[in-house]
Amino acid sequence: MILVSGQRLLVSGMGGELGSLVASLLEQEPWVGSLCGIDVDPPRRRLRTAQFHRIEPSDRERIVDVVTTFDPHVLIHLAVWEPDARAGTAHAKQFTTDATTAILGAAAECPSLEGIVVRSGIEIYGRNRHSLTRPDESVAPDPTSEYGRMVERIETVAQSVAQRIGVAVGSLRLAPVLGPHVPSPLGRLLRQPVVPFSILADPPFAVVEDVDAARAFVAAAKLRLDQPINVVAPGAITGLQAIMRGKRVPLPLVGPEWYLARQLSHLGGAPIPEHVMEVLHRGRLADGTRAHDVLGLVPATSTPEVIDRLFRWESVVRITKPQMRAATIHGVA
């Protein structure tokens, strides 16, 4: 595919860790002419050329105005709130629905639009009884958690927009994303001093690092992806193995006491939403080979390495006054 330089890209959810990472990678791409972002929070990285609009997901009129004025060639839709990552399940669902409706609806009004890439998750496959151990993209979605149903809805809305206006729609089904500053309920739970796990099942799961996920979005936007792709780090790990790698205290649970563990974990600042419970009880794997075939992408960090890095990240970063002054003198904000 020959790419014309000067492409306009819109990133919804640019304020989040993944969104700002995608934006910073896009700024380095020679084919990207202008970059615009929308989110409720400001970007977490220093972006040099991107324009950013701080808009509430419910403010549809302003979103439509910004999107149609920018008239993007490609929309990367990352405005997805994972339950209990930055907001509780009910709020996450509401924000995601509002943002999806407004942004994808507005994008459909843009005459230059050629492609849409949406963030989805491997939670879309669900973990019902007899569901496949390692589903690939040909497996029909059958979500069994609220987050799975949320990402399924995003894909459905994007597909319907694509059919009506005739643009390519690709969805990147990400394994649970972990990274130094990514708000992830799974990452938060694993970093607790005492971590519960299912002693009867202890199933394997896979994750992906935020940098690899961001690279996948850049590649998908560049190629005008028009199909779903799983983005999963190679390898797998079980809950107990992850706990042991982090030198945490494993708390073996069988069944009913999970309710109590969830409540206590919530009080401890690490709520365990439905889809994370599913990971611990039924596992979460997916076949990520198509990402290599289509996007030419092999995640650089394997699942056990991502887990190792998760435990290496410091819990608290305190910048004291003299250090802040020194940083200002050296020109670092």
Partner 1 sequence: MAQLIELPRRAVETTARTASTAVTAPFRPFRPLLPDHSVDEWGRDDHLVRLLGPLARLRWDVSVGGLHHLPAKAGALLVTNERRWSYSPLYVSLALSRATGRPVRFVGRPDHAPFGAGLRRIGALLDDPTEVHGALRHGELVVMATSSTNHPRFAGSVDHELVGAAVTAHVAVIPVASMSSPFNRTARAEVGAPIRLRTKRRGPLAEIEIAEAAQRHLQRILDELGGMQTGMVAIDWLGEG
The amino acid present at 144, given as its one-letter code, is T
237 binds partner 1 (CB under 8 A): yes
Could you say which of 181, 183, 235, 261 contacts partner 1 (CB under 8 A)? 235
- Is 90 or 249 the residue whose CB approaches partner 1 more closely? 249
- 172, 231 contact by CB (below 8 A): yes
- Among residues 15, 121, 283, 299, which is the contact residue for partner 1, using CB under 8 A? 283
Nearest one of 20, 165, 156, 162 to 79, comparing CA atoms: 20
CA 269 to each of CA 54, 95, 120, 179, 187: distance values in angstroms, whole numbers, following the listed order = 27, 21, 26, 18, 12
Site string for partner 1, 36-75 (x = CB under 8 A): ----------------------------------------
The yes or no reply on residue 173 touching partner 1 (CB under 8 A) is: no
Rounded to an integer, what distance in angstroms lies between the CA atom of residue 288 and that of residue 18?
19
Q: Cβ 75 to partner 1, closest distance in Å?
A: 32
Q: Which is nearer to partner 1, 296 or 314 (CB)?
A: 314
If we measure between CA atoms, which residue out of 278, 277, 283, 279 comes closest to residue 265? 277
Using CB under 8 A as the binding rule, whether residue 139 contacts partner 1 is answered as: yes
Q: How far apart are CA 81 and CA 150, in angstroms?
A: 9
The count of residues interacting with partner 1 (CB under 8 A) is 49
Number of residues in the chain = 333
User: Of the two residues 93 and 173, which places its CB atom closer to partner 1 in the complex?
Assistant: 173
Q: Which helix (H) or strand (E) holds 118?
A: strand 115-121
Question: Minimum Å distance from CB 187 to partner 1?
Answer: 15
Rounded Cα gap, residues 78 and 170, in angstroms: 12
Q: Do residues 281 and 198 touch, judged by C-beta distance below 8 A?
A: yes
Q: Which residue has the tokens 């639009």?
A: 113
Counting contacts by CB under 8 A, is residue 136 touching partner 1?
yes
134 binds partner 1 per the rule CB under 8 A: yes
* Residue pointed to by tokens 């708390």: 251
Least spacing, CB of residue 140 vs partner 1, in Å: 10
Lay out the site mask for partner 1 across 290-319 (x = CB under 8 A, - = otherwise). --------------x---------xxxxxx
Assess 90 for contact with partner 1 (CB under 8 A). no
The stretch among 81-89, 104-112, 134-142, 217-225 that binds partner 1 (CB under 8 A) is 134-142
